[in-house]
Amino acid sequence: MTEDLPMGSPPSLPQTPPSHTSTVPRSGSPIPTDLRNRVPAIFGGHPPSFMEKRRSSIVMGQRSVDLLMEQPGEPMPRFVIFIIRCYRRWGYFIADHSLKAILICVLISLVCLYFVLTTKQENDITGYSPYGARARTEFSRYQEFFSHDGPGITVYIFALAKDGGNMLRERYLNETVEILNLANENVTLQQNGHNKSFAQFCRSFCKINEPVRGFYNGFRLQLESIAMGNKPNSRINLNYPKSQILGHTFTLQQSFFGVERYNYTNESEDKNNFNLTEALLKVKADEEEEENKNKTNILIKQKESKKNRTERNIKNNSLLNLENNSTTKITNIKSIKMVVLQFRAEHENGWTSEIVKTYEMAMVKRFEKEYKSERLKLYVLSTTYVEEEMVRAGISMVPYLSVGFLFMVACSVFFVLNRAIYMHQNSPPKIFLAIAICFLPFMSCATALGLMFICGLRFASILCVIPFLVLSIGVDSSYLMNHEWQSVIKHCREQPNRKNLNVGYRVSQVLSEVGPAILISMLTNVFADGIGAITSSPEITLLCVGNLISMIIAFIYQMTCYAGLMSLVGRYEIALEKRERREIQESIRKAISNGSSQIGINNNNSELGYGKHQSLNRQQSKFHEHTKHYISKTITFYIKVISKRVVALFVIFIYFVYVGFSIWGITRMNINLTTQKLFAEDSPLLQLDKLRVKYQVPHFMMATVFICAPKNLSNPERLEKMNNFVREMEQLNGTWGRSWGTVGTQYFVRDFITFEKNFGGETDPDELEAMELEKGINENSDSPQLSETTLDDERSLEIPTGPFKEEDLAVFLRWPEYTQWSGFLKLDNKTGQLERFFFTTGYHGDKLEVWTERGKLLKEWRAVVDKYSPDFDASVFHEDAVFLDLIDNMPSDTWQSVLGTLVCMAFVCFAFLSSMFTVIFASSCVLSICCGILGILSWWSIDLDPIMMAAMIISIGFSVDIPAHVSYHYYQASIRELNATPEMKLVNCLSSVAFPALQAALSTIFCVCSLLFVKLYMAEVFVKTMVLCVVLCNLHGLLFLPAFLIVFDPVVYSCRQRISKSHSKVKSNNRIHNVIPEESGSQESSLKENTLINEKKRKLFNQNGLNKTINNDKQSTITDRPNLERFHSIELEGGGGDKLKQEENEEKMNNNAKDNLNINSKSNQKIDDTSH
């Protein structure tokens, strides 16, 4: 330790080089006269190199507060000052406990990661339906009816011809029936060590597939009958939509789809269209083609041979001889594209969700993955399979996280090291800081998701997109911290003293400067996610809540883990600085001891350790100089161009073209969400959904109406009202198509009243079967078939009238002909009364393939149901209703979400920036960006759905940053420099915002584009939305907004003049009370004295117009660094020395002889600072 220089003593070389812990003149001791007189000579009459210009923070930080304090009459942002004070305290605390903070964060992340890896994904197919949507209530009624005791089984098998042809071929139908038998007998459900087949545990809907079996048997019998020389059986009528075999009628509408029928409007045309000979020949030819498909070319060559022609003629003639009537028809069906088999079973005691899911997936495995067929292509559909495919789609994104991570690491290392080299701070620990920037989002995601699952929230597949979002958004704040960390190091090296050689001081400077900006960014993201969580659907709520928690955790980890890591790196860099200073001092000492008289003492006192630490300014490299020159030249050129009024007006014109283009896109945006958008590109369910929409929906779109309160249907008036309800549902017609009428309706009352009329519930089932058999024998074998007009006759049939006795329902359901109704009715186990039931009715129309037309039909259903719901507590269900409701809900949900997010953004901006000017411009930009996202996505073939809305809301959270920063800096420039030109104000804006904005934009785009490798609609939406948001955000902040500010600068100036006049009435001493107050027991000292001294300096400067040195015991330095530097340290080794008593003693020390005020060209200085 060297002693303080006594007053008046001449400078002398120390015997040993002064160490880095050398003391400095205390504030209570006078500065040596010779040293004070030498200060101007040291710098040659020019400003010292370490004196940086007074630039403001990137948004609202310590420097902005300092500059704001210098403006007379300006209200002080009390809230921001409080935030800065908290950040300062936290900086010292985290520096002292850096290693503990890092270990705690890593440990918590690992524990939560364990819960993430061990939690099973669970999806809800109705989760995308908005809150309050009617479809949610309707689906709950559906589940209550079929799964009131627990989960039931529902599996569909879709069979199509591999050659894309007709399923109405004997071998194709035969294989379909074989598949039905396999599903009934071979696939078993395991429960308590016992295996049961579907035929064993099915109770209510066991015969739902009998129409397929019956049709095939009838079709085969007719062919065999003709082949045996008999005419077709007149009691077998294989017509669509209803067929009849031996007096038993059944419907084919729920089994055969993509049906094409013959036209019966003209009898001769009908004869030409369907001739039995032609039909049989076609079937025979199809079979031969199937058997000889490997010998097709040979058959073609031999087709004209005489022998084959003779054989074929013999076969044809034999078939023709068997026909007594060539126009006899065995079916009115021309072709069938798809056959559907249904397997539905109600819940049984002991079944768990896992047992049901295992059985349904066993069906998928058996028939879709293992079943091999040369003729048929099978698809299987079940709720479990849909959920599994949604899970697989979410998991498919996970491997590409590594791609996004590598992109981000490359960007981070490049930006961090490039700036470190530029500022002569390159060192190995910088790489750790760069990589930690990318690891931090993963830690926060693991912690957030783990906490969600610990709290019982569901692991939905959509949550897999959160790591991409946090990785692309959350790194921006870490970039800001690293950017400011390098600036702080640069300042500390240029102005070395005890205080800034403490790592706690450096961390506190970083946090007090960029902390408010990071907090603003976090709050905007949190508020945006919060709005999305309460205005959307359950799945989107999970996404928004997960992203919200991740952003909060990322903020906490940045303030703890990353700040702690910076502290560790800072200790290394401080040690490096001390070593470099010792080396410099040692080299100087050796040079002097060797008699080097070339060293000018007067010119090197600042480096010899006379009462201060040595500056570590390096010589500027060629890279630094060239880069600085080009950056300054580029910004100068850009500002000159954009500041021209003609250019600004042209940019505004482009902006309005953009707005018009976006609004046009919004008007043509489709509202659509199907299950296709939830599956991976290679999912079989994608193709199945297309086939279902093509063949099933247009031919038979079924409405299931649940009657939850039938009450006493024995009352004729009540029964009549129920019948009228069914009639109205059967008579619906519209632009979408028409109803199938009574032929497409399954309503048990029709059969029950017929049963009551014939038997009155008194006949034994065995007696009834004998009577029916005898009746069939006595009937004429030439009884008339169903005519071509059967469908029209069915539509005109009325519901039969007659007695309705509820006590006969149990007997009715036991008859073999009516057992299918057991699944439609729920009877009270004690009284046998009807508790509830459902009926179905069908509709058809080619336009039903269009999403909006199905929405219209759903509205008509609900209108009829609402009419009768007060009497019967009715509810209508359709499987697509959860998505069809989006047509009405999405527009209102979207504008409500945007409005709510906009209000939150405005509130955050006003709370931190206290500027209505900034709030207005930033909010307008956010609204414009939302409009652009919606409109351009519409032109980009993206529909309005919950996924797109969630992506947009999440993007809005970070779209406010750049417009808010630009407008705020422009407004502050207007305050400080009332007569400044718009060009000078833009220099202040763009020099502070442009580089961080472009850096964040590039890193975000690179990261989110890794999702393009995932062939998933959800990934595509997030990529397009976030890229659009980033691009539009930068265009608004760096192009559109500057153009508007240039054009409307006179209006801004006029408003500013009025504000200044109103503020001029405020007494100047009111400002002093707005600074950070002194608190007893804190590590801070009062700023009142510093503020008064600064005002005296300004007065002295205004009087003389020259740089003055103020010899005052309690003076402060006005530099780019904050004026509120109130934390000092004594102990420098090990980063300690920030205790309260040491701080109070060190407050009295002032080792700076650099209190010269500088007047530089502000515009050029602001441009030059961009390179830093």
Q: Transcribe 413-440 into DSSP letters.
A: HHHHHHHHHHTT---THHHHHHHHHHHH
Pick the range with the lowest mean pLDDT from 503-512, 576-585, 851-860.
576-585
Residues 6+ apart with CB under 8 A from 1071: 69, 72, 73, 74, 76, 1091
- The SS3 call for residue 407 is helix
Residue 23: pLDDT band with limits 50, 70, 90? very low
The angle at the Cα of 470, spanning 465 to 471, to the nearest 5 degrees, equals: 95
Residue pLDDT, tens place only, 793-808: 444 455 666 678 888 8
Residue pLDDT, tens place only, 522-532: 888 898 888 88
Query: In the predicted model, what is the mean pLDDT of residues 297-325?
Result: 45
Q: Is the pLDDT of residue 423 over 50?
A: yes
1037 versus 974: the higher-pLDDT residue is 1037
Alpha-carbon distance values, 991 to 31, 53, 654, 988, 1170 (Å): 38, 13, 24, 6, 5
Dihedrals phi, psi of 682, to nearest 5 degrees? -95, 10
Whole-number Å distance between alpha carbons of 916 and 56: 19
Q: Is the pLDDT of residue 173 over 70?
A: yes
Q: What is the pLDDT of residue 81?
A: 82
Query: In the predicted model, what is the mean pLDDT of residues 181-206?
Result: 87
3-state helix, strand, coil in the chain (%, to 5): 65, 10, 30
Residue 454: pLDDT band with limits 50, 70, 90? very high
- Are 809 and 827 in contact by the 8 Å Cβ rule? The answer is yes
Amino acid occupying residue 549: I
User: What is the residue-averaged pLDDT of the chain?
Assistant: 74
Q: What is the pLDDT of residue 874?
A: 94
- The SS3 call for residue 616 is coil
Query: In the predicted model, what is the mean pLDDT of residues 370-375?
Result: 90
- Buried (b) or exposed (e) across 781-816, using 16+ Cβ within 10 A? eeeebbebebbeebbeeebeeeebebebbebbbebe
- Are 1080 and 81 in contact by the 8 Å Cβ rule? The answer is no
**Residue found by looking up tokens 């109803």 in the block:** 739
- Are 512 and 91 in contact by the 8 Å Cβ rule? The answer is yes
Residue pLDDT, tens place only, 976-994: 666 677 777 787 677 767 7
Counting every residue written for the chain, the total comes to 1172
Q: Is the pLDDT of residue 635 over 70?
A: yes
186: how many CB neighbours lie within 10 A of its CB? 10
Whole-number Å distance between alpha carbons of 1101 and 1104: 5
- Are 926 and 959 in contact by the 8 Å Cβ rule? The answer is yes
**Residue found by looking up tokens 């709720």 in the block:** 383
Whole-number Å distance between alpha carbons of 69 and 77: 10
With a pLDDT cut of 90, the percent of the chain lying above it is: 20
Q: Is the pLDDT of residue 1138 over 70?
A: no
**Residue found by looking up tokens 């969580």 in the block:** 533
Q: What is the pLDDT of residue 76?
A: 54
Structure tokens, 568: 């560790």
Q: What is the pLDDT of residue 638?
A: 85
Closest listed residue to residue 95, CA positions, set 458, 707, 504 = 504
Note every long-range contact of 720-724, with CB atoms under 8 Å and residues 24 or more positions apart, other chains counting: 721/868, 721/871, 722/749, 722/872, 723/749, 723/799
880 versus 1073: the higher-pLDDT residue is 880
Q: Is 354 exposed, middle or buried (0-12, 13-18, 19+ CB in 10 A)?
A: exposed
Domains and CATH numbers, the chain: 78-118+396-594+605-667+889-1063 (1.20.1640.10), 134-145+688-879 (no CATH), 149-274+329-388 (no CATH)
Q: Is the pLDDT of residue 520 over 80?
A: yes
- Are 180 and 207 in contact by the 8 Å Cβ rule? The answer is no
Q: What is the pLDDT of residue 362?
A: 93
Structure tokens, 843: 């509709």
299: how many CB neighbours lie within 10 A of its CB? 13
Q: What is the pLDDT of residue 65?
A: 54
Residue pLDDT, tens place only, 720-758: 999 999 999 999 998 888 999 888 899 999 888 888 887
Q: Is the pLDDT of residue 957 over 50?
A: yes
Structure tokens, 422: 């530029």
Q: Is the peptide bond before 75 cis (omega within 30 degrees of 0)?
A: no
Pick the range with the lowest mean pLDDT from 126-135, 188-197, 287-296, 674-683.
287-296
What is the dihedral angle through the alpha carbons of 978, 984, 990, 991, rounded to the nearest 10 degrees? -110
Note the pTM of the prediction, 2 decimals. 0.73
Q: What is the pLDDT of residue 616?
A: 52
